[in-house]
Amino acid sequence: MSHSTRPDQPEHQYYDDEIDLSELFKKIWDRKFWVVLITVVISAIALSYAMSVTPIYEVKSVLSPPQDSQLVDLKESKFQDFTASQIFQRFIYVIESNTLKREVFDAYYNELATKEGASAGDIEVQFDGFLNNLSFVVPKDSNNSIGTLNNSILKLTHHNPQLASEIVNSLVENALDHARLEMINDLEMERLSNIDQLNRKIEQFVNIEYLTRLKKITLLEETQKNAIQQKMDQIDIAGRRIEKEIFGRLEVLSEAIETAKTLKIIKPTSLLSESAKIISSQVSVNAELGDKNNPLYLRGVDFLQAEFDSLKARKNNHLIFGELRNLDAELETLKSNREIEILKARTNDALYIDDQLKPFYIKLSELNGINADYPNLAMARVDREATPSLHPIKPNKKLIVVLGVVLGLMLGLFIALVIPVIPVKREGK
């Protein structure tokens, strides 16, 4: 065997190295029994540990945002618009809440408990362990928001895969129910709030119309009152004028009666029949009784006295004079205002502003027509339910055995190479 050498390096050093290496292999070969024994023992220990340690399984449920068909009820409600991501986000808030996790933990506590008769502190420790074994992975898009096409995974690790799958499915089911119930309650509260607001707006419009109607009635009544007062004044003026005319008529009749008595005209007569009587008195007559220019006394005392007594005894001129009758009729008409009566008799002002209230009624009809149960609403879609896993995630038995073999071999070589050297060094001392 040839070697390249440097001028300052002696050739016998390489010879010593070859001797040492050969001696090393010789020592290992001489102690091969210990190397094999230690390797077998360590490997056996590793294999025993791998076979005795409790296996841990991982079960998972795959979830994703709801489909459009599961949001039909929300879209038909029209009073609020939700996206699938927003609905799924509400579901995530619920499923990640410790309150819901505690409910499920308490429901399966007997199966999850590591020892019986645990104290409150032990229960909290076990619950913390349960939370550490439970995880929920939600993929996010570039905007750090929930993607509608990505699947979210709920995972639980436990030594009992059947129990773990039941817990995961129960947690998902409870989260779906709780999130749906909260969503429906929020929607119902908002629906009722919108209905209340619309009713308040309708009430405001109706109140405005009511106040407008009262104002109109007041104005009409004031106008009516003024018109009645004016008409009563007209009647009073006309009445006084007629009374004055009657008083003048009584004076004329009184004079005519005195004249008729003087002439001894008792009965109505004409100038022709009385001409002989009055010629001697040199009374000149040129007209008949029916002439408007005939003297009033020709009607005779009886006639004139009867008219005088009738006028004197009259108490109500309204029944005699057409002017007063007409004024009385007009007064009665003013006292009976049909428009005021109709406005006062109105019981539903909303009917008279139907055009203004129609948009509110349409919205109310839509809100009242919403099925508050939202039967088709789903907060998430379960793409895959949790099922018991057949393969544990730990321990990795193959890796443990391989590491045991490697560790045992390394320990065996160490013992074979190092321990024999120590006594030699001591002898040299």
CA 295 to chain centre: 97
User: By three-state DSSP, how is residue 115 classified?
Assistant: coil
Beta carbons within 8 Å of 114's beta carbon, 6+ residues apart = 126
Lookup: tokens for 305: 């006295």
Amino acid 68 reads D
Lookup: tokens for 359: 């948009």
- Asked if 408 contacts 32 with a C-beta cutoff of 8 angstroms, the reply is no
Nearest CA among 221, 233, 220, 240 for reference residue 330:
233
Residues forming beta bridges with residue 382, ordered by sequence position: 63
User: By three-state DSSP, how is residue 60 classified?
Assistant: strand
Tally Cβ neighbours within 10 Å of residue 329: 10
Tally Cβ neighbours within 10 Å of residue 360: 16
pLDDT in tens, 74-132: 777 766 678 888 889 999 999 999 999 999 999 988 887 764 445 556 888 888 989 99
Nearest CA among 181, 316, 191 for reference residue 242:
316
**Residue 389 DSSP symbol:** -
- Asked if 389 contacts 161 with a C-beta cutoff of 8 angstroms, the reply is yes
Beta carbons within 8 Å of 283's beta carbon, 6+ residues apart = none
- What is the pLDDT, as a whole number, of residue 281? 45
Nearest CA among 151, 52, 97, 106 for reference residue 401:
52
Residue 66 to residue 382: CA distance in whole angstroms? 9
265 conformational bin, left if phi > 0, alpha if psi -120 to 50, beta if neither:
beta
Helix count and strand count (H, E) for the chain: 15, 4
Look up the CATH superfamily of 57-195+371-384.
FepE-like (3.30.1890.10)
Residue 402 to residue 406: CA distance in whole angstroms? 6
- Residues of the chain falling short of pLDDT 50: 1-7, 11-12, 14-15, 17, 19, 115-117, 276, 279-291, 421-429
- What is the pLDDT, as a whole number, of residue 415? 77
117 conformational bin, left if phi > 0, alpha if psi -120 to 50, beta if neither:
left
- What is the pLDDT, as a whole number, of residue 291? 47
- What is the pLDDT, as a whole number, of residue 145? 57
Residue labelled with tokens 């020709």: 298
Residues forming beta bridges with residue 134, ordered by sequence position: 156
Lookup: tokens for 51: 């076979």
- Bridging pattern class, strands 381-384 and 57-64: antiparallel
Parse the chain into domains and list their residue ranges.
57-195+371-384
Residue 364, classified by CB atoms within 10 Å of its CB into exposed (0-12), middle (13-18) or buried (19+), is: middle
- Asked if 394 contacts 106 with a C-beta cutoff of 8 angstroms, the reply is no
Helix 421-428 to helix 397-418 angle (10° resolution) is 20
Residue 3, classified by CB atoms within 10 Å of its CB into exposed (0-12), middle (13-18) or buried (19+), is: exposed
- Asked if 294 contacts 260 with a C-beta cutoff of 8 angstroms, the reply is no
Nearest CA among 175, 192, 177, 174 for reference residue 372:
192
- Asked if 298 contacts 289 with a C-beta cutoff of 8 angstroms, the reply is yes
- Whole-angstrom Cα Rg for the chain: 62
CA 112 to chain centre: 42
- Bridging pattern class, strands 134-137 and 381-384: unpaired
Residue 61 to residue 175: CA distance in whole angstroms? 13
